């Protein structure tokens, strides 16, 4: 890995910025490499990693596996979570040593285990600590831009309190999942709040991204054009679609989908096989194999697509899954 450069890359990105969001056990090193090969977001984030675990003398090397990246992914930002400023300082310093282009602090994760640590969305209820964490990361990695991903409130909308408090710590960028922690992902994202958010951020120099109910770059541009902001973050729209950010290419053929899925499975096994259960990979299968895409090209009807997915879901190993797809492609009429 090459060393990072002492500059704020956020300010050099063309607007609107289209970012690929961090999704735990989804946008891992294997999938990000596939995405970077077939399309490219303006910025990519790692899966979120525990700052405490990252700097632990025994567990650190294992957690560091979450921060694997390739040069093709740049600008690449390491996302961390903790409620302990000193651990954040140390972890940010390590990310600088590892050559990352930036560090992002997760202040929006609703996972109860994370919240019990006082991290993730719990920080929405402790804004003084949230500011301390930003400053700690800045102290640990002074050459890197420090950004934050959070929500618009915990139980209710609280942007009038949250935005000024976080901006007071001068983060390079702030991504807002436009739902409260209570809403999780069940309610519609409150994009109508973006004009007020931008008013609150005016003059701060902080880049503001919106997140929620955005599945494609086209939708991201529409949201930004309608409601404002410097860009948008896409999350679940990436499932089964590493071509998402390639605006010039047409939709991939069903066979291309299957061949790239093989590539993805093999890369997952190579990079994560010893650390992650292969079951993690299976959440991609249905997304890569939409029945309509296969049927459209006469490869297989709905039942066949369904059966193929069932076989893959039952595959115990990466080797067996790849064998199933190759066998399917061999039997398919050309």
Contact 94, 56 (CB under 8 A): no
Q: Which of 22, 88, 78 is nearest to 52 (CA)?
A: 88
Helix segments in 273-317, DSSP class H: 285-288, 291-296, 302-314
Is 109 among the residues known to form the active site?
yes
Q: Write down the catalytic residue from 109, 169, 207, 294.
A: 109
From residue 309, alpha-carbon distances to 79, 237, 240, 288 in Å are: 32, 20, 13, 10
Other Cβ atoms less than 10 A from the Cβ of 40: the count is 17
Contacts of 195 (CB under 8 A, 6+ apart): 227, 228
Compute the distance between CA of residue 291 and CA of residue 237 in angstroms, rounded to an integer: 17
Q: Is 118 exposed, middle or buried (0-12, 13-18, 19+ CB in 10 A)?
A: middle
Q: Is 18 within 8 Å of 217 (Cβ atoms)?
A: yes
Question: Quick one: how far is CA 315 from the chain centroid?
Answer: 27
> Which tokens sit at 214?
């955005």
Copy the structure tokens of residue 179.
């739902």
Residues facing residue 178 across a β-bridge: none
The conformational region for residue 229 under phi > 0 = left, psi -120 to 50 = alpha, else beta, is left
Could you list the beta-strand ranges (E) of 96-230. Answer: 102-107, 146-151, 173-177, 207-211
Write out the catalytic residue numbers. 109
């Amino acid at each position: 890995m090459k060393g990072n450069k002492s500059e704020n890359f956020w300010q050099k990105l063309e607007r609107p910025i289209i970012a690929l969001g961090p999704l735990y056990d989804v946008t891992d090193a294997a999938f990000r490499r596939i995405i970077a090969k077939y399309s490219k977001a303006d910025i990519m984030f790692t899966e979120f990693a525990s700052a405490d675990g990252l700097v632990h003398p025994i567990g650190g090397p294992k957690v560091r596996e979450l921060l694997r990246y390739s040069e093709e992914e740049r600008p690449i930002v390491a996302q961390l979570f903790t409620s302990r400023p000193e651990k954040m300082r140390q972890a940010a310093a390590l990310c600088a040593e590892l050559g990352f282009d930036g560090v992002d602090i997760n202040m929006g994760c609703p996972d109860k285990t994370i919240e019990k640590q006082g991290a993730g969305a719990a920080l929405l209820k402790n804004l003084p600590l949230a500011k301390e964490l930003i400053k700690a990361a800045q102290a640990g990695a002074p050459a890197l831009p420090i950004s934050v991903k959070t929500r618009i409130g915990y139980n209710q909308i609280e942007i009038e309190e949250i935005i000024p408090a976080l901006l007071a710590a001068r983060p390079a960028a702030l991504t807002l999942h436009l739902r409260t922690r209570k809403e999780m992902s069940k309610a519609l994202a409150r994009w109508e709040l973006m004009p007020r958010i931008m008013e609150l951020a005016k003059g701060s120099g902080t880049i503001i991204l919106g997140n929620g109910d955005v599945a494609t770059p086209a939708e991201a541009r529409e949201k930004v054009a309608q409601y404002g902001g410097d860009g948008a973050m896409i999350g679940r729209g990436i499932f089964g679609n590493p071509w998402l950010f390639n605006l010039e290419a047409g939709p991939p053929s069903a066979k291309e989908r299957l061949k790239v899925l093989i590539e993805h499975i093999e890369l997952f096994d190579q990079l994560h096989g010893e650390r992650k259960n292969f079951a993690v990979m299976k959440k991609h299968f249905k997304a890569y194999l939409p029945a309509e895409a296969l049927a459209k090209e006469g490869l297989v009807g709905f039942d066949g697509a369904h059966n193929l997915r069932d076989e893959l879901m039952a595959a115990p190993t990466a080797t067996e899954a790849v064998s199933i797809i190759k066998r399917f492609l061999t039997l398919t009429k050309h």
